[in-house]
Structure 1
Amino acid sequence: MSYRYILFNKPYGVLSQFTDSSGEKRKVCASGSPGAKLFKRRTLKDYISVADVYPVGRLDWDSEGLMLLTDNGQLQHRLSHPQFGHPRTYWVQVERIPDVNAINQLQSGVMISDRLTRPAIVKLLTDEPLLPERDVPIRFRKNVPTAWLEITLTEGRNRQVRRMTAKVGFPTLRLVRVAINQLTLHNLQPGCLRNLTENEVKDLLK
């Protein structure tokens, strides 16, 4: 049987599922408009027409970046199950400049819902990463600087990165997943997808 393996760059404001059964709508205020209009929330169906593929893991509605989709149920289970920790790397824009103490806390683990997060790889980026502008700009405060962190986790608890940075005093403003295992976002643009190469599939299945 030939399986499908797809990489997708999820834009901001898109649910990481193919249907939205909640019926919720989001408010969008167009530039120069006196008020906000209600729109149905976007889902993967708005971007992906490939049948019978499902996302491996999730990205929050307000997060962006790399998603892997496949119809290989065994692989999907292995990469999604907590016991099979696999690295996921994020670029995280936070309010203010994290100090050494905050970095060390993120690396060693912080307490979330009475449970310590696993050790993480965290570094402060010296330059702002080259990313497309977000279609909804981040909130900006003139007198508050921002910084970018690169964080690699091997677990995927609910809104984990945002909760971790908030816990050490540096709230997340923008969150972009740039790698899953050895697969990277590279120059895949928001809303675009591509098939994995034969070599990428081999590496993924190892």
Structure 2
Amino acid sequence: MATLILLNKPFQVMCQFTDDQGRATLADYVTTPGVYPAGRLDYDSEGLVLLTDSGPLQHRIASPANKTPKTYWVQVEGVITDHALSRLQEGVALKDGVTRPARAEAIPPPAVWPRHPPIRERRNSPTSWLALTLTEGKNRQVRRMTAAVGFPTLRLIRHRIGEWTLDDLPSGQSRKVHVHLPKSPANRRPPVRKGKPL
């Protein structure tokens, strides 16, 4: 049985346990010893981060080969168009290659927590929200994709990773679950350590 921590990472928190610049890190929010993040989430992005004490579970979640779907709620400048959504669905040409086909749809503004500090809103400049589901993880991919189709990202919240979602988890809070893993010698390997745990 593996331990899995679901954390709603706040804005401007490093997705690691230490930082030599004195910025907030996972250590400010997670007290369970011996767990490490399964994947990353940018400093200026919010939402679901999964942490585990199991190497096999970490690999299952984070390995690009497994193509674990991740869903993001994205607030963008302007009112997103059907044409832009179609381009996101088909794949967008970025400097490091064309993105895989994605699921993209306009959504009503979700009932989410206030961000601190709030986004900079311009008078007479509308914003809109979309849900974007990816099966890959290029660097800052969501932001680059929406910018490429003419709708820069203002706020980015990861809502789902595979079968796990934020549900009603408040910003900065975490929830512990246990995941059953098949018995196998490979399941004894420790998780990849990126940054010191608590």
Q: Which residue number in structure 1 is paired with residue 53 of structure 2?
A: 71
TM-score, scaled relative to structure 2: 0.88
Q: CA deviation at 1:150?
A: 0.4
Aligned AA for 1:139?
R
Alignment partners' CA distance in 2, 1:124 and 1:179: 17
Equivalent pairs: percent with the same residue?
A: 53
Q: CA deviation at 1:16?
A: 0.6
Q: Which residue number in structure 2 is paired with residue 140 of structure 1?
A: 121
Structure 2 unpaired stretches of 5+: 183-198
Q: Is 1:161 paired with 2:160? A: no
Residue correspondence of structure 1 range 39-54 to structure 2 within 5 A = 40-54=22-36
Q: Which one scores higher on RCO, CA 8 angstroms, separation ≥ 6?
A: 2
TM-score, scaled relative to structure 1: 0.85
Does the 8 Å contact 2:9/2:47 carry over to 1? yes
- Tell me the matched-pair count: 182
Alignment partners' CA distance in 2, 1:67 and 1:172: 20
Q: Which residue number in structure 1 is paired with residue 188 of structure 2?
A: none
Question: CA offsets, 1:73-129, max 9 Å, x none?
Answer: 11212321211101111100000011111100000100112411011000001x210
Alignment partners' CA distance in 2, 1:181 and 1:114: 25
Does the 8 Å contact 2:2/2:57 carry over to 1? no
Q: Which residue number in structure 1 is paired with residue 16 of structure 2?
A: 17
Task: Give the 4+ runs in structure 1 shifted more than 4 A.
Answer: none
Q: Which residue number in structure 2 is paired with residue 57 of structure 1?
A: 39
Kindly report the root-mean-square deviation, in angstroms, between the aligned alpha carbons of the 2 structures: 1.4
Q: Is 1:107 paired with 2:106? A: no
Structure 1 unpaired stretches of 5+: 24-39
